[in-house]
């Protein structure tokens, strides 16, 4: 079953239930998997919030937040997310490429893309 949603500014609305999930900053991207929405928010420049990718369940609860990692730059949020087979690939300002299992948020592999 695929989750239907809409995203307006910083609110993710799950349909048809109407459940709203607010985030601190605007929603930049959402990748849909069977039972989870992987959401990337866009923190304000200089906010130093690098854990900006979330897994959201159909009931609106947060399943996971991307794990805290050591970065080259203090301000290195994830800048894009894409579906990669049954997983999601995350890219950040440091050039890190993380392959993540979307249901658990577990990092499967780490690469470098710059």
- The predicted-structure confidence for 7-57, as pLDDT tens digits, reads as follows 999 999 999 999 999 999 999 999 999 889 999 999 998 888 899 999 999
Distance CA 10, CA 108 (A): 28
- Residue 19: the pLDDT is 97
Predicted confidence (pLDDT) at residue 76 exceeds the cutoff of 70: yes
Q: Does residue 82 have a cis bond before it (omega within 30 degrees)?
A: no
- Residue 18: the pLDDT is 95
Predicted confidence (pLDDT) at residue 71 exceeds the cutoff of 70: no
On average, the pLDDT of the chain sits at 91
SS3 call for 110: strand
Q: What φ, ψ does residue 69 adopt, rounded to 5°?
A: -135, 160
Name the residue ranges covered by the structural domains of the chain.
4-112
Distance CA 30, CA 38 (A): 6
Predicted confidence (pLDDT) at residue 114 exceeds the cutoff of 70: no
CATH classification of 4-112 is 2.40.10.480, yes or no?
A: yes
């Amino acid at each position: 079953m695929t989750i239907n949603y809409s995203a307006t500014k910083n609110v993710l609305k799950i349909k048809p239930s109407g459940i709203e999930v607010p985030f601190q900053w605007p929603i930049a991207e959402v990748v849909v998997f069977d039972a989870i929405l992987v959401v990337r928010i866009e923190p304000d420049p200089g906010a130093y919030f690098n854990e900006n990718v979330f897994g959201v369940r159909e009931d609106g609860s947060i399943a996971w937040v991307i794990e805290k990692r050591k970065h080259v730059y203090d301000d290195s949020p994830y800048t894009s997310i894409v579906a990669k087979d049954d997983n999601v690939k995350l890219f950040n300002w440091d050039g890190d490429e993380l392959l993540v299992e979307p249901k658990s948020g577990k990092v499967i592999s780490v690469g470098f893309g710059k």
